[in-house]
Amino acid sequence: MLFYSVSQVNAYVDEVLEHLAAGRMTGKARYIHEQFVRAWSRMLGNRLTFECDEEETNYITRPDDAAVIYPAIVRASDEGQTCFIDAFACVGGDTLAAMYYFRQLPVHAVQLNDTPASEGRFARLAANVEHFNRMIPGRPKRGYAHGTDIHSFLCENTEILERSILYLDPPWTVDSAAATGISPLREIAAFLDAHVWRALRVCPGLIVLKLPAEAADVQDWPFLARHYSLADRVSPRGRFHVHIFQRR
Ligand SMILES: C[S@@+](CC[C@H](N)C(=O)[O-])C[C@H]1O[C@@H](n2cnc3c(N)ncnc32)[C@H](O)[C@@H]1O
């Protein structure tokens, strides 16, 4: 069997994305996608199978991005955090990274599960999380997949928020920005306002936001400006920023 390094696989993924953008999925692109899936399982010791469809390859946090993002989150966190909440989990790129980099914390992965498409996605997330749980026999289960809207999850789990790390990788095309005339960043800000900030009765210890690189002024967003200070910002590959906020 042929194995590739994670960086080689990532280069191939860029090729897949070009194929997808052009609306064609050739046999080669499908093969590259499989290599990407294999890269995750290699990263996690060759013992994990990772389920992900072609479109989701577009969204998920790649292993090499995780290697930049997660050490920064670990540096900004302290002994006081008791769980990690991956609010927009998709198939679990970040969920698995969180389980991998935070060896002691329970990880809650929240993904909508209300349409046939999102149902399939949630099923893949749940399978990926279960695979990872089984990799660590004899230890308490650490990964939990929740098929629900993040707003409901936050309202119903207030007691775990204060000492949590809340990780937010929201959809970047929330609605039709072109149709509304509102910039995509303002759409994302409004989406987070409705689905996350308004659901928080208690402020999480750490909030991590993965956003397009153009979102330079997030620390001025009213909720964050009122309760948080920017602790760090990392930019894997320069295409997006990951902002790490600590509660004041
Ligand atoms: C950008 S993707 C996240 C990718 C993920 N971080 C990864 O690395 O695999 C955003 C996900 O949020 C989900 N989503 C959108 N609105 C949601 C909501 N209100 N509650 C929970 N999940 C939601 C979408 O279905 C999509 O799978």
CATH assignment at residue 149: 3.40.50.150
CA of 229 to the centre of ligand 1 (A): 25
- Asked, for residue 38, whether it belongs to a domain, the answer is yes
Residue 88 · residue 110 · CB < 8 Å? yes
Torsion of CA 117, 146, 16, 116, to 10 degrees: -10
Q: Are residues 190 and 227 in the same domain?
A: yes
Say which residues have a Cβ less than 8 Å from residue 58's Cβ, sequence separation at least 6. 17, 20
Token pair recorded at residue 147: 């098929």
Q: Are residues 31 and 94 in the same domain?
A: no
Q: Who lines ligand 1 at CB under 6 A? A: 59-61, 88-94, 110-112, 118, 121, 149-150, 169, 171, 195
How would residue 1 be classed by pLDDT, with cut points 50, 70 and 90? Answer: very low
Predicted confidence at residue 205, as pLDDT, reads 97
CA of 195 to the centre of ligand 1 (A): 12
Predicted confidence at residue 89, as pLDDT, reads 97
CA of 156 to the centre of ligand 1 (A): 19
* Weakest mean pLDDT among 109-113, 129-133, 177-181: 177-181
According to the per-residue pLDDT averaged within each range, which of 99-103, 137-141, 242-246 is highest? 242-246
Q: Are residues 118 and 29 in the same domain?
A: no
238: left (phi over 0), alpha (psi -120 to 50) or beta: left
How would residue 193 be classed by pLDDT, with cut points 50, 70 and 90? Answer: very high
Predicted confidence at residue 196, as pLDDT, reads 98
Predicted confidence at residue 3, as pLDDT, reads 43
- Asked, for residue 157, whether it belongs to a domain, the answer is yes
Q: Which structural domain range is residue 13 located in?
A: 6-43
Q: Are residues 69 and 35 in the same domain?
A: no
Average pLDDT over residues 20-41: 62
- Asked, for residue 55, whether it belongs to a domain, the answer is no
- Asked, for residue 131, whether it belongs to a domain, the answer is yes
Q: Are residues 100 and 209 in the same domain?
A: yes
The residue assigned the tokens 């929240």 is 110
Say which residues have a Cβ less than 8 Å from residue 133's Cβ, sequence separation at least 6. 141, 142, 143
End-to-end CA distance of the chain: 51
How would residue 174 be classed by pLDDT, with cut points 50, 70 and 90? Answer: low
Tell me the whole-structure pTM to 2 decimals: 0.84
- Asked, for residue 164, whether it belongs to a domain, the answer is yes
Q: Are residues 235 and 129 in the same domain?
A: yes
Q: Are residues 30 and 68 in the same domain?
A: no
Rounded Cα distance between 120 and 190, Å, is 27
For residue range 55-101, what is the model confidence (pLDDT) as tens digits? 777 778 877 788 789 889 999 998 899 999 999 999 998 998 898 78
Question: Which ligand 1 atom is nearest residue 118's CA?
Answer: 25
- Asked, for residue 73, whether it belongs to a domain, the answer is yes
Q: Are residues 69 and 28 in the same domain?
A: no
Q: Are residues 88 and 188 in the same domain?
A: yes
Give the residue whose CA is nearest to atom 27 of ligand 1.
90
Torsion of CA 233, 21, 183, 151, to 10 degrees: -70
Q: Are residues 84 and 188 in the same domain?
A: yes
The residue assigned the tokens 């894997």 is 236
Number of domains the chain contains: 2
Rounded Cα distance between 238 and 246, Å, is 23
- Give how far Cα 242 sits from Cα of 118, 145, 146, 224, 247, Å: 25, 23, 24, 14, 16
Percent of the chain with pLDDT over 90: 45
CA of 87 to the centre of ligand 1 (A): 7
- Asked, for residue 58, whether it belongs to a domain, the answer is no
Of the two residues 11 and 227, the one the predictor is more confident about is: 227
Predicted confidence at residue 207, as pLDDT, reads 98
Predicted confidence at residue 2, as pLDDT, reads 39
- Asked, for residue 54, whether it belongs to a domain, the answer is no
Average pLDDT over residues 170-191: 74
Burial of 46 (0-12, 13-18, 19+ CB in 10 A): exposed
Q: Are residues 38 and 67 in the same domain?
A: no
Predicted confidence at residue 76, as pLDDT, reads 95
CA of 111 to the centre of ligand 1 (A): 6
The residue assigned the tokens 């992900």 is 52
Q: Are residues 35 and 130 in the same domain?
A: no
Percent of the chain with pLDDT over 70: 73
